[in-house]
Structure formats: structure tokens, C-alpha cells
Structure 1
Amino acid sequence: MKSNTYILIMAGGVGSRFWPKSRNSFPKQFIDILGTGKSLLQLTYERFLKICPNENIYILTNEGYAQLVKDQLPAIVSENILLEPSRNNTAPCIAYATYKIAQLNPAANIVVAPSDHLILKETEFLDKISLALDFTADHDALLTLGISPTRPDTGYGYIKFEQGTKNKGEGFEPDLEVLKVDAFLEKPSLEKAQAYLASGEYVWNAGIFIWSTKSLIKSFEENAPEIADLFSAGAKDYNTAEERSFIQTNYPSSPNISIDYAILEKAKNVYTIPAEIGWSDLGTWASLHAVAEKDEQNNASNCAAFDLTETSNCIIQLPKGKAAVIRGLEDFIVVDDEQVLLIYPKSKEQEIKAVSQGMVSKFGATYE
């Protein structure tokens, strides 16, 4: 384990595309959505324990989820649960954690990772993270783990890297590729996604970042000075009894902006390591269906008792102990979450977020 390694696990999202299973009061990262007996947050935490001591793991989350984090990760002390008073996207919360950790350890090297992603090839993932940490410890670099695309997916942002830009530090494995990033690209059309895949010069942006506190703070000062000014002002308060008061007073006035827009699209020292790690962001019901165990008719169900006749390509999620009897359904999402029953075509699942918002506006926050 590397003593200067720190992990920031981002656990403040709502996961609205997984409605009604993922709700504002109990979002996706706290759910055992894979049927393993552990939540996605718990699986992510346990993955990082293999490269970092428990005391160096920090959870970034919304104030409303503090108790959920404590319940699911009892080994994490309260000081390592960083609470956002407002949802201001990823740049402010990453800045908060970075300035706080820099006060503890100016030589800190940080991994930032979402709490709710699936990684099937864990050994390969940890190897890539370890190599990335070695690189950022020796270089002024902001590094993102890029997922080698397996299909022309229109649901992810892409990263274009420069060809022939291998950057190797002393003692690196001879086949390690650290590639200079040329551009970050928004979710493409199918035609563009097909071109990206064919070119071999693009990776998916997984939102997994590695950098030193020194490099990131320097980049905030150069590219997002308003964020740097706000969080550097708390230097004397971090890791003291005054920290919470400083954050509650100042955090809500930070810009609502992602780390991609605030820093990565502007900085000149951004690199990527392409990785094949069996990754999924589990961002939609269809993505869960793709990785879940399925029957002969390609149905993925969490039911212990079910009778599915003339039913295929469906994902079925019911409360524990409830049986499913379904006939004549194809390519549907079926989710029963006590208060809400959702039966929706998979081809229209991009509408689910808007549907959930419509239910809230019509019938109140009970369905949020």
C-alpha cells in the first residue's frame, strides 16, 4: 500500500435514471442492485482497501446521506465523511477534499472515483490505478482512466488521445501507455461513435481520476481561480472543529460546475491510460440488464420465484419475497418498489427521469 495514496469516493448522486428503485431518500449507490448482498458503495470501498488504508479513504456525499454512509461503512470515521451542503456538481466537492487532504499531507496522491460503477476485472483495475499513481507521483499530470470502447455507445463522453505520445517514468513497465489527451468530447451521435470506435484513438470517459494534490491545486489556481480562492480560504479551518462551519457558510456559493468543464477541458497536462477492466457505469436499467445473470430467454430477474412465459429480454426487479408471473412481455423494464410499479419499454428508458419528475410534480415528493 502507498502511504501517500488517498481515495475520494463520490457518493452524493441521486441515480434518477434508476427510478423507482433509486430514490432521493435512498439512491442507487446505497442499493444492493447487483444482488451480491452489498451495496455499490460497499463494493467500491472494499475494492480500494486493497491499495489504500482505511484512514485514507474519504466519502464525498450530500448532507442528507451522512447516516446512510455511516450505516453502510461503519469503519469510516466521521471526519472522513465530507458533507456537501448543496449539490454544486463535482468540481467544488473535489476541490474541498483536495484542499483538506493537502493540509494533512502535501505529498498526497489522490484517486477520485464514483461510488456506483461496476468493475468486473478488479485485478486489472487495481494494476492500472497503481501505475497511474506512480505516474502522477513523478509528474505534474492530471490523469484519467480511459475505458477501451467495445461498441459505438452514444451514452458516454469520449476522450481523444494523441497518437504516439507514450510517456514513461523511470521504472515503469515497458508496455505502459500514458497517453496525452487531445480533447474531451460530449456524448456523440451513433455515426460519430462508430467513427470513434473505428479510429482507435478514443476511450470512454469513466470519471475515474488520479492526480497529486499539488498538481490539482495548481490547476484550480490556473483554470478555476474562483474555486481556488474559495477553498484555499479554509486552509486554517480544515481538519479542525471550524471546518464544518466554514463549509456550510462558503460551499453553497461555489460554482455549479463539473471537474471536466472547470479543469480537464482547459488544462494542458491531462493524460489517460486506456483500460479494459470490465467496466459499466450502471447508469440505466439496460446497462444493468447487460451485466446481470439471465435465463434462456434473456430475462434478468432478482426474483426467487417466477413464471415467465412468452417473455424475453426483460429486466425484472421486485421486493424480496415477491414472486413474478408474467406472460407475453418483450423488451420491458418491470420494477416494483412498494410505492411505485414501473412497467416501461426498454427502448424508451431515456424517458424515465422525466417520468419520475412528472410524478413528483403531480403527486408530491413521496415519489421523488
Structure 2
Amino acid sequence: MNKNNYAILMAGGVGSRFWPISTKEFPKQFHDMLGTGETLIQKTFNRLAKIIPQENIFILTNEMYNDLVFQQLPQVTKRQVVLEPAMRNTAPCILYASLKIQKENKDAVMIVAPSDHWIEDENAFIQNVEQAFHFCAENDALMTLGIQPTFPNTGFGYIEFDKETKDAIKTVKQFREKPDYKTAKEFIAQGNFLWNAGIFMWSVNSVVNAFKNNQPELFQLFEQGYAVYNTDFEDDFILENYAKAENISVDYAIMEKSENVYVLPATFDWNDLGTWGSLYDKLDKDENNNAVVNARTLTEDASGNMIRTKKDKIVVVDGLQDYIIVDKDEVLLIFPKAKEQDIKKVLQKVKDNFGENYG
């Protein structure tokens, strides 16, 4: 296993569209969302460990999730857990972790991967990552793994690549925002558009230089802390300066501003597990097309439902089609799947009416 291979595992999100299971105190990446016996972060860590030395997998998360990380990944050390002092989107935290890795190994190549994605064909994933690692080690490249679209999804950003590129790794023409349905259909018809999964790959030198060139203020804010080799001072400096960083995504900060951007169309299956509906799509269904996690069910005239409870809870459903039914402690959610994007709004209403401790 190549000791220059590193990973930044992004595990700081709240996952509010998976409420009431996912909460600010205990977000979805720390749950076994599919009932497999592994939480999402455990599954992602073990997948990456097939190609990256375990000690080179860094967990990037919020300070409030520090204990959860060590509970679920007891094999990691304090060195590997990079805590965000404040929530500032993906650009500051990726630069923060990249500078740490560069200080440790100037020859590092890395993958930045969300902790809450679901990938079944792990062999195909490993092959794609190995191919991208090799390319990034040999070239000054900012890469992303693009997902072959299977339908005109309006919930993802898209990557447009150069049609003239015959190589497996394509030159990116531009990134596109989440489209409406008509535009998404046009993207797919053109044949050179991929879903943007937020999986990035590059050498540590390429990404640090990209920040230096495209985000000089952010780079200078962080670089000063790394000019000093006393660890305590460094951590104190970052703690003090991190909150001053702009709230900006890595896509806007460097990917959309750089010329050396490439995409590898992925050959693995992928699901971002962003909503209860996307979880429903991944799960096996019963004879009535209901997806059930943990519950024991009796259903009558009920189909297309997403049902999740504590282990072995008995759930009786009659006359409901295409609903999300989630039971957790003091909260029961019964909500139409067609309105799943409104769960974040509902969560805010619950907190306004019943208190912050329910979110």
C-alpha cells in the first residue's frame, strides 16, 4: 500500500433532511442508516482503508463530534482527527487539513470524500481511485470523480467535460449549478455531463497552490499558523484564525477558478443518501414495496413507504402510500415522500414550537 496515499474524510455535516434520526448532536454519518451493522462513517473508513494506510486517513469533523469519532473509529489516533473550530463550509476545512498533510508528507496525494455516501461496488471504486491517484501524482491536477447520471436529477450539480477528450480522464469545461428538470434532461441528452458527487482528488502541492493562487487571503490566514513548528502554538493560532475564514465551498474557492481541472467518469454505483427518499431507493423492499429498517410490520393497503424505528418495534400501517414513517424516542414523523425536501422547514417549526433539543 502506497504510503503517499492520504484521505480526508468529511464528517462535519448535520444531515437535517434525515431528521428525526439525524440531529445536530448525533448526525446521520454516525448512524447505521441502512441497517447493515455499520454506520456510514465506519463503512466509508473501511472502504478507503483498502487502498490507503489507516494512519493516513484523516477525519475532518466539528469539535462537537470528537467523541463520536473515537467511539465509532477506535483505530484512529488524535493526530488523524482534524477538528473545525467553527463551521465554515468545505474550503477552509480542506485547506486546513491539506496544510497539516503537506507538513507531514510533501509527496502526498489525497482523496477528499464525504462520509455519508453509499457505494456498493467497492472494487470499481478502488480501481477508479487508484487511476486518479496515479494521474494526480504525475500531473498538476485538480480532479473530481463524476457520477454517470441515470436520470435527470435536479438535486445535484453537474460537471460538463470536453467531448473531444478521448482519454479516460476528461478535461472539465465547467461546473453547472443544480438545474431545473428541463435543463437536466438536456444535460443528459448531450452525453458529456456527470453528477458532481463532491469527491475530489489531487496532490497536496496542487491543492495548496490552488488555494494560494485563487484564495490568497484565506491561504495567508492559515499559512501563518504553519510557519511555526511548535504544535501548541499552531493549534492555538488556527483556533483563533479559523472563525475569520470566509464561508465558501471548495467548488467556488478553487475548482471553478482553476484551469487544471479534470474529471474521471466513475464506474461504481453511487448514492449520496441525502434524503429519506434516496435511502428508500437503496433499500430492499417487501412484497408491498415498503422499505423497512429495524421494524416488524403489519401492512394493509400500504405501499411505497419508508419505515424506520428502533430494533423490532411493531408498526401497523393501513391506507398509506408513499410516506416516510420514522419513530425515534419522543418524535414520530409521518410525512409524504413527495415533500421530503420540506423536512428541514418542518424541523425548524418543531424547534420553534417545542424547543431546540428536538433538532
Candidates 199, 204, 212, aligned match of 2:203: 212
Counterparts of 1:96 and 1:361, CA distance in 2: 35
Aligned residue type for 1:41: I
Structure 1: any 5+ residue segments left out of the alignment? 168-176
Contact 1:148 1:275 in 2 (8 A): yes
Counterparts of 1:146 and 1:282, CA distance in 2: 16
The match for 1:189 is 180
The match for 1:235 is 226
The match for 1:297 is 288
The match for 2:264 is 273
Counterparts of 1:92 and 1:336, CA distance in 2: 36
Counterparts of 1:243 and 1:67, CA distance in 2: 22
Candidates 314, 317, 320, aligned match of 1:323: 314
Contact 1:237 1:246 in 2 (8 A): no
Q: What do residues 313-357 of structure 1 show as CA deviations (whole Å, max 9, x unaligned)?
A: 000001113111110100100001112110000011110011101
The match for 2:43 is 43
Q: Find the residue that maps to 1:334 and give its secondary structure.
A: strand
Counterparts of 1:239 and 1:68, CA distance in 2: 28
Counterparts of 1:33 and 1:247, CA distance in 2: 34
Aligned residue type for 1:334: I
CA displacement at 1:260 relative to structure 2: 0.3
Q: Find the residue that maps to 2:226 and give its secondary structure.
A: coil
Counterparts of 2:105 and 2:66, CA distance in 1: 25
The match for 1:153 is 153
Counterparts of 2:87 and 2:189, CA distance in 1: 38
The match for 1:107 is 107
Root-mean-square deviation (CA, aligned residues, Å) is 1.1
Q: Find the residue that maps to 1:229 and give its secondary structure.
A: helix
TM superposition score normalised by structure 1: 0.96
Q: What do residues 23-62 of structure 1 show as CA deviations (whole Å, max 9, x unaligned)?
A: 0010000000010111000000000111111110100000
The match for 1:172 is none
The match for 1:201 is 192
| More off after superposition, 304-313 vs 23-32 | 304-313
Counterparts of 2:296 and 2:19, CA distance in 1: 23
The match for 1:174 is none
The match for 2:125 is 125
Counterparts of 2:68 and 2:146, CA distance in 1: 30
Q: Find the residue that maps to 2:100 and give its secondary structure.
A: helix
CA displacement at 1:78 relative to structure 2: 0.8
TM superposition score normalised by structure 2: 0.98
Contact 2:40 2:116 in 1 (8 A): yes
Q: Find out whether 1:61 has 2:61 as its counterpart.
A: yes
CA displacement at 1:304 relative to structure 2: 4.5
CA displacement at 1:238 relative to structure 2: 6.3
Call closer, same or farther: CA 1:283–1:239 in 2, change over 3 Å.
farther
Contact 2:20 2:328 in 1 (8 A): yes
Call closer, same or farther: CA 1:247–1:161 in 2, change over 3 Å.
same
Call closer, same or farther: CA 1:61–1:306 in 2, change over 3 Å.
same
Q: Find the residue that maps to 1:184 and give its secondary structure.
A: strand
